[in-house]
Amino acid sequence: MPAVQAALISHDRLKPQFVEWVVRHRLALQPHTLFATGTTGGLIKEACPELNLTPLKSGPLGGDQQIGAMICEGNIHAMFFFIDPLTPMPHDVDVKALIRLTALYNIPTALNEATADRVIAGF
């Protein structure tokens, strides 16, 4: 399978769970080019320095929009975004716009661990 360019994002409360998921799937992720929002990217780089990961801005500071632009340009092929459904976020509109773009451009999108396990199985 050709290399995939994937976005990795997680809301704060789910960051520990998301980093554990990345560590568990590091071998599947290793051949691919990864982009992550700022804080999430820093935590992943610390846990898995061997991954080809580029951290972008933090989500509330425009990182979600950076990934959205990459989707529009055809530079993201999958998105893993562990969303916290119980905590309101000040940048919820950015999250909604990002998910809209993944639907519009037909990008495989995992919003929780169960779906992420199934999407990564296709890598």
Tell me the percentage of the chain whose pLDDT exceeds 70.
99
Distance from C-alpha of 31 to C-alpha of 121, rounded to nearest angstrom: 14
| pLDDT per position as a tens digit, 15-46 | 999 999 999 999 999 999 999 999 999 999 99
Cβ-in-10-Å burial (0-12, 13-18, 19+) of 42 comes to middle
Q: Which of 23, 5, 111, 94 is nearest to 58 (CA)?
A: 94
In DSSP notation, 75-110 reads ---EEEEE--TTS--TTHHHHHHHHHHHHHTT--EE
64 is catalytic: yes
Distance from C-alpha of 14 to C-alpha of 70, rounded to nearest angstrom: 24
Domain limits, the chain: 5-121
What superfamily does domain 5-121 belong to in CATH? Answer: Methylglyoxal synthase-like domain (3.40.50.1380)
63 pLDDT above the threshold of 90: yes
Is 68 labeled as ligand-binding?
no
Output the pLDDT for position 1.
56
Instruction: With cut-offs at 50, 70 and 90, classify the pLDDT of residue 90.
Output: confident
Output the pLDDT for position 2.
72
Residue of 64, 84, 92, 94 marked catalytic: 64
